[in-house]
Chains A and B, each alone.
Chain A
Amino acid sequence: MTHAADTDAAVRTGRTAARGRRKGRRRGSAIAPYLQAAPMALVFLIFFVLPLAATVLVSFWQYTQYSIEPAFTAQNYGDVFYGCLRDLPNLCTTFRTYLSTLKFGLIVWAATLVIGFTIAYFLAFHVRTLKVQVILFIICTIPFWTSIVIRMISWIPLLGRNGLVNQTLLFMGAIDTPLEGLLYSDFAVILAMVHLYTLFMVVPIFNSLMRIDRALIEAARDAGATGFQTLAFVILPLAKPGILIGSIFVVTVVMGDFLTIGIMGGQQIASVGKVIQTQMQFLQFPLAAANAVILLVAVLGGVWALLRLVDIRKEL
Chain B
Amino acid sequence: MTGRRPRAFYVLSIVFGLFILFLYGPMISILVLSFQGPEGGLVFPMNGFSTHWFGTLLAGGSQVGIGSALRRSFLLAIVVMVLTVAISVLAGLAFRRRFRGATVLLYVAIASLIVPSIVVSLGIALEFRLFDNAIKALGASMGIGWIQGNFISALGPYTSGLGAHLTWTLPFGLLIMFAVFNRFDPAYEEAARDLGATSWQTFRHVTLPIIAPFLIGVAVFGFTLSWDELARSSQVMGSENTLPMQLAAKTTTVTDPEIYALGTATTFGSVVLVIVTFTLASLIQKRRRGG
Interface residues of A (CB under 8 A from B): 18, 25, 28-29, 32-34, 36-37, 39-41, 43-44, 46-52, 54-55, 58, 68, 115, 118-119, 121-123, 126, 128, 136, 139-140, 142-143, 145-158, 160, 162-164, 167, 195, 198, 227, 248-249, 252-253, 255-259, 262-263, 267, 273, 276-277, 280, 285, 288-289, 292, 295-296, 299-300, 303
Contact = CB atoms under 8 A, between A and B. Distances in A.
Contact of A258 (B99, B163, B231, B274): B231
B283 to A, nearest CB: 17
Nearest to B90: A36
14 contacts: A50-B127, A51-B122, A52-B120, A118-B15, A142-B271, A150-B30, A150-B266, A153-B260, A157-B42, A259-B234, A263-B248, A277-B118, A280-B235, A296-B119
Interface stretch (B58-66, B143-151, B209-217, B251-259): B251-259
Contact of B263 (A145, A150, A276, A299): A150
A147 B266 contact: yes
Contact of A48 (B23, B91, B108, B254): B108
A236 B188 CA distance: 39
B155 interface: no
Contacts, number: 256
Q: What are the nearest 4 A-B pairs in CB distance? A: A256-B116, A51-B123, A47-B163, A154-B26
A54 B127 contact: yes
A40 B91 contact: yes
Nearest to A254: B116
A139 B16 CA distance: 11
A48 B61 CA distance: 38
A299 B230 contact: no
Nearest to A256: B116
Contacts of A29: 97, 199
Given A121-B12, A147-B247, A48 B112 contact: yes
Interface residues of B, number: 90
- Provide the main secondary structure of the chain A interface: helix
A43 B266 contact: no
B94 A146 contact: no
Interface of B: 1, 5-6, 8-9, 12-13, 15-16, 19-20, 22-27, 29-30, 33, 42-44, 86-88, 90-91, 93-95, 97-99, 101-102, 105, 108-109, 111-120, 122-127, 129-130, 160, 163-164, 166-167, 170, 174, 196, 199, 224, 227-228, 230-231, 234-235, 243-244, 247-248, 251-252, 254, 259-260, 262-263, 266-267, 270-271, 273-274
B86 to A, nearest CB: 8
A149 B248 contact: yes
A13 B170 CA distance: 46
Contacts of B114: 248-249, 252, 299, 303
Given A48-B120, A150-B267, A122 B27 contact: no
B228 A37 contact: no
B274 A55 contact: no
A147 B43 contact: no
Given A48-B112, A153-B251, A156-B42, A289 B22 contact: no
A252 B113 CA distance: 9
Contacts of B231: 256-259
